[in-house]
Chain A
């Protein structure tokens, strides 16, 4: 378990997560190299299928970075993805996957510190949870 480096897939929308990820870099904050960033134009583009595929493909954890509520450039993209995450959580429970492996984080383009903190926290949490049973 000591050498387990959780693989995290982070969906980042152009209008919040992706730029915040860049800002984390500018602030010089260390992030795990097992972080994979998937760039989407809006979190609303993310389907339940994409989240499940990420887990199926071996991600130990999935983070979805979307705009704060009432700050989405597409108005409802963040609300759409929130509802879908709820749906996928239901499926995960049914198939024996821990809910903590999929999480929504709302942030803005200038929340580099929050991006980093969320990734680091998830990394530590996943180390505790162990590798995904799907693998």
Chain B
């Protein structure tokens, strides 16, 4: 084993950060290059979804890991930087990186791709009225609201809504847009949102419109049970096809099949939240090209060849929650260490 071992980590989201920390514990230095001006990626702006107790959303874990990685001298962090190209060979890579407008060269023994995912742009489903009706928001916007204000409010008037509808599978499990995957996290995050909101404002009624409820994690059973028992929550197995506006107010209406009676009903809501799913990251195309990373039929990354010195971690391989991304990153860090031991 000669020379300096170091790892170039592309992407400063939870997977990249976790991998950097694991490597740092083994005294292996790494450099994280991150496109945004902050670490944390998609999950870095999620809100805590606790109700009377922690609901295992892991949002705080992301914040904690960011703090932790900032403390490690072995991890160099370069925000607002992008990978432009790579040359060299496995074990001795040479990366061209754009950093704050300068082009610089970085040496690396191993490259770890942790570029994550994009969230589905809800404007691609115009029938849901996102971008048209003020009070149709995405789960992402709900996260931002809860994180910075602590309370959910209707965009139109700033008041707390009385009836919120969550629509599932927006951008997932949908052949009309060619997204033939389940994003895995949306059912759990919607249920957590509903619990958190109702804990803070018990007068708010929430309804979940879904196709199939997807379990996620060990505490999902108790989360689901508590939601089923909550009288202020309805879980409705019917996905409305369209969200309608209201002539004289910023309220919304939806038509759906009432599972109990089988009849079509129409109901009004004052806030609709679209549970958007994940999709392959558009701007990471370049990274995949440069490094020759294969893609699966859905556009998520497949494993690079064994001796290529290129590794993957986290949601860029396929939608996953924060906990699974961390586990995946730890497992990949272990593989990187074995690889470095052999070169």
Contact = CB atoms under 8 A, between A and B. Distances in A.
A contacts B directly in the complex (CB < 8 Å)? yes
Interface of A: 15-16, 19, 27, 67-71, 106-111, 113-114, 116-117
B176 to A, nearest CB: 36
Contacts of B148: 27, 113
A92 to B, nearest CB: 24
Contacts of B147: 110, 113
B54 A68 contact: yes
9 contacts: A15-B64, A68-B48, A68-B50, A68-B53, A69-B53, A109-B63, A110-B46, A111-B50, A114-B48
Contacts of B50: 68, 71, 106-108, 111
Interface in B52-67: 52-54, 56, 59-60, 63-64, 67
A70 B149 contact: no
B17 interface: no
A67 B50 CA distance: 10
Which DSSP category, helix, strand, loop or mixed, fits chain A's interface?
A: loop
Contacts of A67: 54
Contacts of A69: 52-54
Q: What 4 pairs between A and B have smallest CB-CB spacing?
A: A113-B150, A71-B54, A108-B60, A69-B53
B149 A110 contact: no
A121 to B, nearest CB: 11
Interface in B244-285: none
A110 B54 contact: no
B47 interface: yes
Interface in B325-339: none
B141 to A, nearest CB: 15
B48 A110 contact: yes
Given A70-B56, A71-B54, A108-B60, A114 B47 contact: no
Q: Which of B50, B59, B147, B149 has the largest number of chain A CB atoms within 10 A?
A: B50
Interface residues of B, number: 19
A10 B147 CA distance: 21
Nearest to B219: A70
B60 A110 contact: yes
Contacts of B54: 67-71, 108
Nearest to A106: B50
A113 B149 contact: yes
Given A109-B60, A109-B67, 9 more contacts: A70-B56, A106-B50, A106-B53, A108-B48, A108-B50, A108-B54, A108-B59, A110-B59, A110-B60
Interface in B18-41: none
A14 to B, nearest CB: 10
A114 to B, nearest CB: 5
A117 B201 CA distance: 14
B48 A107 contact: yes
A108 B151 CA distance: 15
Contacts of B150: 111, 113-114, 116-117
B53 A110 contact: no
